[in-house]
Structure 1
Amino acid sequence: MLALLATLMFSSATPQYAAWVTSHAQETPSYDVYNLTYVDVAMITYVNNVSEGYFETPINYTEPHYTQVVRVFRVGGNVTVNTSEDKTSFTIPINNNSRGYVVLNVTLIRESRKEMNIVAQALYLGNVFLYDYPYPEEVVGKYVLQPNEKVVEVVVPLFEEWMRSKLYANISLGEVSKTYLAVWAANYVYGGYLIKYNASAIPRSLEEVLERREGDCDDMSRILLSLLWYYGVPAKIQYGYVYLKFDYVTDVYGSLTRFINAGPHAYVVVYVPTVGWVSVDLLAWARLYYPTLITGESTYSNVTSEDLEEVERFYTSFKYLELIEIHESSKLPEDLMRDLISEDLFSRLERMFSETPQETNTTTTATSPLTETTTTTPSTSVSHEKTTKAVIPTALFEVLTIIALVAGATILILSLIILKSGSRLKQ
């Protein structure tokens, strides 16, 4: 649904080419601070020739406008918690009825207006010279890799033809800034112009996605990654949990995971000179609008048929139950508080799978709220004013968005860990 919304919003955005004289140094930062509690409880229910599982949790992450600080609050069961400067995870032995949990306190500090403003300047104000500065050499060396040949062969010509219809006749694609190009490339891929959104619990190869012209968030992100690399834009995929009202159970090869207020998602971030990493997630608005707990990053852009066979082999060798939930620390549900005090999270896990997930209300808000800003944000209006009101996808679209994304995001998040380690359970 949100993919459709994004398509409608962006298709109405006609670039306007005007002189852009805003001094970015004069922008006043505006930060939102979230204190969140992350709970991850798991129990192995079946195993065949697998010894250890590796559970990824939110990582320590620092940027000028997006900082995530993780602290271990409580650990239980037969688990080992591994912490480092930029990562927190826990391992659990895979044998029948082995179980464990970790509870984290996560502080998220973000300046989402900065990222949203960059996207809006490209899409709605037509700033073709947006942040047109050179990239640091070390960033290019690490995050501009060899694009997938299939993307170069199939996607690049289609994208350039599409972009010619968006640019004025006297502006060529080679004249626009790479930041401007990156936002419009994200619009093209996430907006449904290239492939149709279709969630899947089973990962798909890049060849299959391009052949069938359908995919989900991770499929789209891998294609976008190669497309951006082709034009020399530093980019990477981030994985995490979008924090919003949400309650859903997924089934991956017989293993069940219940997500409460934690929508698993994959999206692309690009490097913007003088700014840093910026989300271009025009599918679910991760980081741009919704707070997102980052669990990992990757520059792996190609999933092959051999990779898919390995994923299936590994995930059919065991089964598990897992509960992942996120809450504001000052507003913990009473039953969770009781379970934390009594240190009885395993009973909570069993209880949560014995009841039906709550259906999130999708009818409380008939229209998306308008957010007033003093800087540029997306607008569906034909005119482009410096002070605008932005139509932001919220309550009406939240649950439909994450339910659609969850099946596709979950399995590839799992598979990327397996492909790199051969023995890890989940990212």
Structure 2
Amino acid sequence: MNKYIGFLLFLYSLSVPATPLDAILEQVKKGNLIEQKQAKAQIYNAHIDVKKINKRLFNARKTLKSTNNENVILEDRILQLQAQIKQRRAQYQSQQEGMQGVFKSVADHGDIMLQRTAAYGLWKYDRSNFIQKDKGNINNLHIRQLWIALIEQILMSSKIIQDEQQIVLTNGTLTSQYTVQFGPFNAYSQIQKQYHWLTFLPGQKIWQQITPEPTTQIDTTTMQIDPSFGQLLIKESRAPNWYERLKPAGTVGVLIILLGIIGGLICAIRMWALHQEEQKIQFQLKHSKALSNNALGRVILATEKSDLLSLDALLDEAILKEVPTIKKGISTLAVIASIPPLLGLLGTVAGMIETFRVITEQGNSDSQLLAGGISQALLTTELGLMVAIPLLLLHCLLRSKSIRLIEILEQQSAGLLVLRQHDLRNINE
């Protein structure tokens, strides 16, 4: 400030003539006042600018805080939307997989229907002329005709078609017979005054008599539908009989069957013998005279001339003599019943070894061959269990029946002992 005043005084001394000191002082004061006013004005303006800046800063901070809150809300919303998108995507994928399964099922069913319909010759009843079109020139009209042709095939599949058809008989001769066809499902015809099931040969476009004849009888008064398009009838006609089922079991199967027959004979003989013995014992219980044709009568006869001291021992001895006769064959039946499962297991092991040997020699890992070999190997186990389970049940029945007869002998012997003791006491008195 002092430098500035000195500089003004120097300029003034150069530009004006010398003046009194009072005038110079007055000028200096005026200049100082002007500078102070200017400084105050600058300070005031600076305060105003600072207030404006603070206000702007406050508004900016407020805006920033509001923006941050909105950002937090938006981030939460984004996370929620991402979770919803993820959930919807999973639902979409699940629904897409389900729809693909449905589409595949519908397509497979449609292919099967078309193949079966074509195989059963229903296209010859087509009135849309679709099959006569040029396959190399396909347009929208042909696609529409295909739709109409498929609708007609669906309608034909629901009808009973009665027409004269060419049929190959079991002896190989070709004849023309009146046939009844239930859509693409199955058909039959009257051949030599008897009704027979038919199957369609798509290669030759003729019908053939199913041989051997299925066991399902043809009823002309009802509609018999095979949902497998005749495959169940063919499977039924080719079903093996009991001999063909047991033939793969081989020697082990024969042994199991022989054991089953032997066990059944033993059971039948012993069951009849125990039944006869039970009837004789019941007859003896109703009569006082001892008979020698039953176990209880023989026990009574063995103790008729005994004294009181040896009566108990004689009763036990007589009962012990009858027990082996009553239990005869039961232990043998138990042993026979335990052998078939072991033979079945032996046959299964041998069959598995043979199956793996064949697969190893042929170098073929065909799962169908392996499954067929395992199925035949398990046949002996199945046969052994089928024989053993009934034999075990029959063994339990025989054992319970024999135990019941032995209990009758013991009860009647105890009563006989008490009665004999009472009679001897009366004689002694």
TM-score (norm 2): 0.18
- Compare relative contact order (CA 8 Å, sep 6+) and give the higher one, 1 or 2: 1
TM-score (norm 1): 0.18
Which structure carries more strand by proportion?
1
